[in-house]
Amino acid sequence: MRAALGNKRLLERAGAKAVIQTSDLSSGGRLNPEQSDRFIDYVMDQTVIFKDGIRVRRMNADRADIDKLQVGTRVLRAATEAIDNASVVGVTTAKRQLSVTEIILPADVSFSFIEDNIERDNFEQHLMAMFGKQIADDLEDLAINGDGTTASFLSIETGWLKLIKSSITSPGVNETSAARVDTDAGTDFRNVLFPAMLAALPAKFKANPSALRFYVSVASAEAYRYQIGQRQTGAGDAALTEGGAPPFSGIPVRGVPYMPDTDHLLTLPDNLVFGIRRDVSLGIFKNERRRVWEYTWTMRVDYQIVEPAAAVIAYNY
């Protein structure tokens, strides 16, 4: 009974609302478009960075182009009557591509575990919520830390941090690539790191500070909050008594569980792209010989950056 109660508490953390139930499944375990969208919405709502306004591309094929349209600066001209005002506005286009990789979550649940569980009919609802939450956590981890090379979980895809670092051509303000700031292993966010990162961002992305985000680790967000709390002001008192890190120069600061302590990112949430094919699949098989129910989730995902110049990353290099 004690083990069952402990498990019940764990399940409750995943949320009481089922993301998918076995009775919803079509033949072969493939979710229909409405069910897939509901599952994707659930995943997006389970993590810090995914529900912060990133760009989600729901794909119907394994590849999709992300089009970027740019118009040159100072494009207005004085109009002269009765004279053809020739078009001199430069419009450029660029493409970035999403190319998804199939991922799988195989999980076994024993007959005895299900039979002994005190939740009975509600157990499947919580089990599906647990699977959904773990999938969301892994997708966020991969989005941030994926390196595309090491022979591990992180090799599945290249995540945003590596994509941004790979686009850097030189430190400092750059209109065509991401910028980088050397932390020199420092942790003074209020006086050094955040000001340097903001200074390295091109001016055209600073028009609306509240649309930007500082994405840092949970520990870094706490360190910044304590730094603000040392000030003998109302803002300092609020930093110590209220939850969450206060904004810096009008820019929200987000503590993200899977961000490494050594990396700090400034960008627009909409600059981060998560691509996922709509044909999410959930197979459920009753294995009598092994005395388990086999749950198998499969989906195809990828990550991309829209505009590298709209990102500044700080790390020790």
d(CA 256, CA 221): 9
Tokens 């420092």: give the residue: 186
CA distances from 301 to 103, 188, 214 (A): 8, 36, 25
d(CA 228, CA 245): 9
d(CA 106, CA 295): 6
Neighbours of 215 (CB within 10 A): 26
Single out the residue of 280, 274, 251 nearest to residue 264, CA to CA. 251
**In 45-122, alpha helices (H):** 111-116
Between helices 123-145 and 160-167, what is the axis angle to 10°?
10
> Exposed, middle or buried: residue 31 (CB in 10 Å: 0-12, 13-18, 19+)?
buried
Neighbours of 272 (CB within 10 A): 28
Q: For the chain, 317 residues long, give each residue's pLDDT as a single digit of tens.
A: 333 334 444 444 444 444 555 555 554 567 888 888 888 998 899 999 999 999 999 999 999 998 765 545 566 666 777 676 666 555 555 678 999 999 999 989 888 877 777 665 677 777 888 888 999 999 999 999 999 987 789 999 999 999 999 999 877 777 788 999 999 999 999 999 999 999 999 998 999 999 999 999 999 999 999 888 776 565 554 555 566 789 999 999 999 999 999 999 999 999 999 999 988 898 888 899 999 989 899 999 999 999 999 999 999 98
| Per-residue model confidence (pLDDT) at position 87 | 60
> Exposed, middle or buried: residue 88 (CB in 10 Å: 0-12, 13-18, 19+)?
exposed
Q: Look at the alpha carbons of 68, 72, 78, 81 in this order and tell me if their dihedral is positive or negative.
A: negative
Single out the residue of 179, 245, 184 nearest to residue 216, CA to CA. 245
Domains of the chain: 25-73+96-155+274-302 (3.30.2400), 163-271+307-315 (3.30.2320)
pTM of the model: 0.82
- Token representation of residue 259: 């961000």
Longest dimension (CA), the chain: 89
